[in-house]
Amino acid sequence: MMTIKQISVTVREITAGYVNNDEQGVRGYDGRLDIRPPYQREFIYN
């Protein structure tokens, strides 16, 4: 069973620890948010 809990976060919190790495993907929220996981396909649109 999955429980979803709504929380409020600021943009500053989301961008804290932002890392954009070709090998490891894009992460934010001090490593707790996978914005683009390393296994995600690359973007094909401009």
Tens-digit pLDDT profile for residues 5-44: 999 999 999 999 999 988 888 999 999 999 888 876 666 7
Quote the CA–CA distance of 24 and 19 in Å, as a whole number: 9
* Whole-number Å distance between alpha carbons of 8 and 25: 25
**pTM of the predicted protein model:** 0.61
Phi-psi region of 9 (alpha: psi -120 to 50; beta: other; left: phi over 0): beta
Which token pair is 38?
């390393």
DSSP code of residue 19: E
According to the model, what pLDDT value does residue 6 have? 95
Res 23: pLDDT: 81
- Residues 1, 16 contacting (CB under 8 angstroms): no
Alpha-carbon gap, residue 17 to 1, rounded angstroms: 30
**pLDDT band, very low/low/confident/very high, at 4 (cuts 50, 70, 90):** very high
